[in-house]
Structure 1
Amino acid sequence: MQYAPLVPGTLVCNRYVVVGLAGQGPFGLTYLAHDQKRFDELCLLKEFVPVSQDPALLEFLRQSFHQQAAALYQLQHLQLPHFRIMFIHD
């Protein structure tokens, strides 16, 4: 099943407005967004979109996704938007 990325302008968690797709990896999608509760500051949203429904593989992908999100959260640089939220789509 092919998953369509969130379109620009989509409001996530009643707070983040998607600007566009910033990247795609084995665990999901990363979006550039504006945080409406932080003066429209640019930030990153990470969405978990599993490629498999196999229970063992799904658990491995979830753990890997969380590790990757934690690593992104640690990155601090003036040229990089801040990592703010991670969400899981059904």
Structure 2
Amino acid sequence: MTNARLLFNPHHLDHALAGRRWSVSLEDIETVDTEPRLTGGFLDTLFGGGLRNRLRIDLVDESADLFVVNDLGTAVTVLTDSTDGPAD
């Protein structure tokens, strides 16, 4: 994270599985929250990062992106504080 943007660079395994670089202006972040782990099909759960609770970034254009991060609670707090929006 910079003072203006949030960035994500996939690690080698994510990249091999079609993970992509992602960035957004902090001003375009509507809310930051957690997304519960998936309980659906095995492959969707495994390859969608759904074995763990994930970081959810909702944008002002009404799109949302999910990320698997370590120390999820701290990530939500830091990003919420940085974007001046309350976590739900």
**Higher RCO structure, 1 or 2 (CA under 8 Å, sep 6+):** 2
Q: Which of the two has greater strand per residue? A: 1
Same fold (TM over 0.5): no
Q: Which of the two has greater helix per residue? A: 2
With structure 2 as the length reference, what TM-score do the two structures score? Answer: 0.30
With structure 1 as the length reference, what TM-score do the two structures score? Answer: 0.30
